[in-house]
Amino acid sequence: MIRISQRDGVDIEQVASGLEFKPVKKKATQYQFIKDINSLEPFTYTINQGKSVQIDTITSDGKETTNTAQTGDIIFSGPSKEQYVLKPAKVQKMYEGKIGGVLVPEQTPRQVALYQGEPISFMASWGEQMVLKTGDYLVKEQDGSGYYRIARKEFEETYGS
């Protein structure tokens, strides 16, 4: 695996500059709120009420990344029960609805590119390494703060054309 990160002096921007990004909308899937972090099922979310907790994002093809949920952060569960962490302010920008109720991805198109290169590791916007494999999708953060990966299976289940 090739490691590409800002710490190594190479930025994911170099990889992204060679890709063709296209606008793609997320499906208007409803995410249901649940109180128990241990009961997350696909398309549910919870609010971390306890102390900080490490969340490993494990997709259908293995471990993607790690993030730490602080008190008040939102932990989502995607189609493969992969968990990911978002700050409440980011949730309010990326989802419609009220935290604690049903949330639906807002429908502004995301800029997405299919990646066909060798597996790489890059620094995600939350400061942890994230893997990008052949056939995955690279998504530009809507606020321009960086990129994140979506595995092919999870992409096909959460994004439209």
Name 52's Cβ contacts closer than 8 Å, sequence gap at least 6: 68, 69, 70, 71
Q: What is the total count of domains within the chain?
A: 1
The single-letter code of the amino acid at 137 is Y
pLDDT score, position 7? 41
Read off the DSSP letter of residue 103: B
Find the distance separating the first CA and the last CA of the chain, reported in whole Å: 30
| CA pair distance 49, 110, nearest whole angstrom | 30
86-108: pLDDT as tens digits:
999 999 999 999 999 999 999 99
pLDDT score, position 52? 95
| CA pair distance 130, 148, nearest whole angstrom | 8
Burial per residue of 57-96, b for 16 or more beta-carbon CB atoms within 10 angstroms, e otherwise: bebeeeebbbbebeeebbbbbbbbebbbbbeeebbbebbe
Question: Domain range for residue 35?
Answer: 2-158
Task: Return mean pLDDT, the chain.
Answer: 90
* pTM score: 0.84
Angle at 43 between CA 42 and CA 48, to 5 degrees: 95
Per-residue pLDDT of the chain (161 residues; tens, 9 = 90+): 544 444 443 479 999 999 999 999 999 999 999 999 999 999 999 999 989 999 999 999 999 899 999 999 999 999 999 999 999 999 999 999 999 999 999 999 999 999 999 899 998 878 888 999 999 999 998 887 889 999 999 999 999 86
- Closest by Cα among 107, 159, 136 to 16: 136
